Amino acid sequence: MNTGRGGAGLDTAAADGRPVSIGTVLTRLREEFPEVTISKIRFLEAEGLVEPQRTASGYRKFTPRDVERLSHVLRLQRDHYLPLKAIREYLDAVERGERPPAPAVGRQSVPPAAEEVTVRRLGRAELLAAAGVGEADLLEWESYGLVVPLPGGDYDAQAVRIARLVAELGRFGIEPRHLRATKAAAEREAGLIEQVVAPLVRHRNPQTRAQAEERTKELAGLAVGLHSALVQLSLGVRLP
């Protein structure tokens, strides 16, 4: 199975075969997965997705195989919305030399190409499995407007991504009620972007309206980057 883009760069980065620290692994993974954190890597280790070596003093050391496996795990989560248990079983089977079918979760809007599955929509049970949470968690998130279903009741990729982030924050004791300010700030930023692109959206020319969509995506990316940088600045965190 082709597990996605970006893997070759990661493999090359650790091609000399020397084990590297968790900080170095983080830097390499962030080239493709900018939201990954050291806590996330440690969590994946605790879940049995990777088993780094340990020095005599207890420090983690990751081999090239570990880095490659982590990139596959993150890619399968991001692109296929798989629960960790399914990812672990799939990768373990591959490493045993087996040829398991490409994993898939969710409804397919088009027939998948060979060795490639693209998830378009997920049902409620599938979202719970992808995020690794229970029904009570999802109900609470929905009550705060953090996760919003589509009109038909299904969920899209954005809902899965948000659910996973909320779940990750919850492991550190950050509850949904604590995220109301985050949601309010996001809505204010969205309102600002809508004001900027409004003249393009109202234009009669279809090309101009298409340009409005691209401009919206670009501005959203800039807003997210600025928000991340400001949070890190406030916390005194300096990027490597």
Tell me, yes or no, whether 2 lies in a domain.
Answer: no
pLDDT over 80 at 27, yes or no:
yes
Q: pLDDT tens-digit profile of 107-148?
A: 433 333 333 334 467 888 888 887 778 899 999 999 999 999
pLDDT recorded at residue 104: 59
Q: From CA 32, how far away is CA 6, in angstroms rounded?
A: 6
pLDDT recorded at residue 197: 87
- Give me the CATH number covering residue 140: 1.10.1660.10
Tell me, yes or no, whether 100 lies in a domain.
Answer: no
Domain termination residue (choose one: 135, 152, 174): 174
197 vs 120: which has the higher pLDDT: 197
In the structure, what pLDDT confidence band is assigned to residue 15 with cuts at 50, 70 and 90? Answer: low
Same domain, 48 and 11: yes
Domain termination residue (choose one: 95, 129, 156): 95
Q: From CA 72, how far away is CA 84, in angstroms rounded?
A: 12
Same domain, 190 and 149: no
Same domain, 144 and 191: no
Q: pLDDT tens-digit profile of 30-86?
A: 888 887 888 889 888 888 889 999 988 888 999 999 999 999 998 887 777 777 778
Same domain, 137 and 189: no
In the structure, what pLDDT confidence band is assigned to residue 95 with cuts at 50, 70 and 90? Answer: confident
What percentage of the chain carries pLDDT values higher than 70? 84
What length is written for the chain?
Answer: 240
pLDDT over 80 at 10, yes or no:
no
Domain termination residue (choose one: 79, 95, 111): 95
Same domain, 38 and 89: yes
Same domain, 190 and 157: no
Tell me, yes or no, whether 107 lies in a domain.
Answer: no
Tell me, yes or no, whether 28 lies in a domain.
Answer: yes
Tell me, yes or no, whether 103 lies in a domain.
Answer: no
Tell me, yes or no, whether 64 lies in a domain.
Answer: yes
Q: Residue 125's domain spans which residues?
A: 121-174
The count of domains in the chain is 3
pLDDT recorded at residue 114: 33
pLDDT recorded at residue 240: 53
The position carrying tokens 């899965």 is: 160
Long-range CB contact pairs, 185-190, < 8 A, 24+? 185/227, 189/223, 189/227, 190/220
pLDDT, mean over the chain: 80
- Work out the angle at residue 164's Cα, subtended by the Cα atoms of residues 137 and 10, and round it to the nearest 5 degrees: 160
Same domain, 69 and 139: no
Same domain, 151 and 205: no
Tell me, yes or no, whether 158 lies in a domain.
Answer: yes
